[in-house]
Structures are given as structure tokens and as C-alpha cells.
Amino acid sequence: MGSKGKVGLDFSGKVVLITGAASGIGAATAEMFSKLGACLALVDREEEGLLCLMKRCMETGNEPYGIAGDLLKTAEIECIARKTTERFDGKLDVLVNGAGVWSTGTLQGTELAAFTHFMEANVRSGFYLTKLLLPQLLQSRGSIVNVSSVCGLRAFPNQVAYNMSKAAVDQFTRSLALDLGPHGVRVNAVNPGLIRTNLHKAGGMDEHSYAEFLELSKKTHALGRIGEPTEVASAICFLASELASFVTGVTLPVDGGKQVMCPL
């Protein structure tokens, strides 16, 4: 059990690796784990954002270990796994696969190279990093949390490659839960709805389109609003914690009710 005020959510002495950590859900998750006492390994290709996050985490917890790396490159995934293993003497308790990309596109408008990019960024990177770090997670009987999307649970128009990639993440989650459950390793995913991050702008939306999208999204989420990164971070920390000790194979919607809404 944790210390006072953090019962079941005390990660003191636990090593947590988070990819896609420099912004959005990843950054909020890092800051929350930091406040809960975790020893952090933070991964992102955006070095400036990563440094800013590390400074914020140092104000509330242990000094994090930052690794600037591109998860689209096999050699860099291997480097991330090696550096983490060396820094923490082979100890890893929680892996959060949070890195990913988004963009629109129908089948007619999606080139094969773009489809490949989605699958490599959203699926292959997490698959390979998890494979490399699995020995440490087996030793600690640890926890894996994958950041998926409501698009993994339901298909939405004009984003065929993204829908497919997140459905693959959900199936990866369930498959690992079955394979690793007998070894005491829990594997779950969170499936966010629209969250206030830079994901959509990075995917090509301009300011005007994004503002219209946010306004429309108030009607497509049962709670009548979009979500904040901290709300997804809370779910991730819960799934990784002792409070969820009998939870595995779950794809948890953190979506304000979006996946139960009827199309407008």
C-alpha cells in the first residue's frame, strides 16, 4: 500500500518509461507519475519539449532520465531500450506506449507510404519496444499501458489508416494480456476521445479547422465537452497501479461518452 494520500497510487521506487512524453497526454502522464514518486525514463523525438518536461518533473519528484529518440527508426528503438536498461540496472515496472501520429484520409486519398507511416508510428514502434523491454517487465511482474483511441473501438469517417492502426493497438493489448497474464504482467489500454493536445494540428489541421472541430466535438461527446490530458493521465496511472491489480486486457474509453454516441 502507498503512503498517506496515495494509497494504491504510490510509485515510489518504481521505474516507469513513457514514450511520446514531450507533450499532450504523454507529458501529463509523466508529471502525474512524477508526483506519485516514480523514477521516470521519458522518450520523445522533440528534444526541446522533452527538456521542458524534465524541468517540470524535477520540481515535483525525482530527476527524470530523458532520451531523445525517433521511434520510427529501428536502431533508435534499440538504443532507447539499451539506455533504459543500463540507467536503471535492468529494472522496469511500467511501460506506457504513448507515442503516435494522426491525420485524415479516405482509402482513395491515402497513399501506401502514408499507411505504412501510420502503422510504423502507432503499432510497430510499441510492438518492438515492448518486445525489447519484456524481460525486465517479466522480472518485475510489471504493467503495460498502451495509448490507443476511441477510433480503435469504433470506425470514424475519413481516417481509415488511423482507425486501422488503433484497432491494431487494441488487439495487441488483448493478445499480450493473454500471453503475459500467466507471468503476472498486466496489459491494458486507454482509448481517449478528443483531448486538448497538439495531435490534430501536428496532423495537418489549421487553426480555423481545429476551432471548428472543437466546437463540433461538444456535440459528439456525451459530456458536452472535450477532454484534458490530465484526465487520460489519471486513467493510465490507475491501470498501472495496485488499484487495478486484477485488471488486464481492458481497452478503457476515456472519451466523455463519445463511443456510445450515435452519429450526427
pLDDT at 8 over 80: no
Helix (H) or strand (E) holding 146: strand 143-147
Produce one character per residue of 95-121: b if its CB has 16 or more CB atoms within 10 Å, e if not.
bbbbbbbbbbbeeeebeeeebebbbbb
Average pLDDT, the chain: 93
199: nearest Cα among 35, 22, 6, 64: 22
Say which residue the cell 473501438 belongs to.
153
Say which residue the cell 491501470 belongs to.
239
Tens-place pLDDT, residues 236-258: 999 999 999 999 999 999 999 99
Which range, of 92-106, 134-148, 212-226, averages the lowest pLDDT?
212-226
- Rounded distance, CA 31 to CA 95, Å? 15
Q: What is the pTM of this model?
A: 0.93
Percentage of the chain lying above the pLDDT 90 cut:
84
**Catalytic site positions:** 162
pLDDT at 1 over 50: no
pLDDT at 5 over 80: no
Please tell me the predicted confidence (pLDDT) of residue 170: 98
pLDDT at 4 over 50: no
Contact 147, 25 (CB under 8 A): yes
Q: Which domains does the chain have, with CATH numbers?
A: 15-253 (3.40.50.720)
- Rounded distance, CA 107 to CA 114, Å? 11
- Rounded distance, CA 124 to CA 163, Å? 15
pLDDT at 45 over 60: yes
Tens-place pLDDT, residues 154-209: 999 999 999 999 999 999 999 999 999 999 999 999 999 999 887 766 756 778 88
Say which residue the cell 510497430 belongs to.
124
Dihedral pair phi/psi, residue 111, rounded to 5° = -75, 155
Tens-place pLDDT, residues 111-156: 999 999 999 999 999 999 999 999 999 999 999 999 999 999 999 9
Say which residue the cell 515496472 belongs to.
93
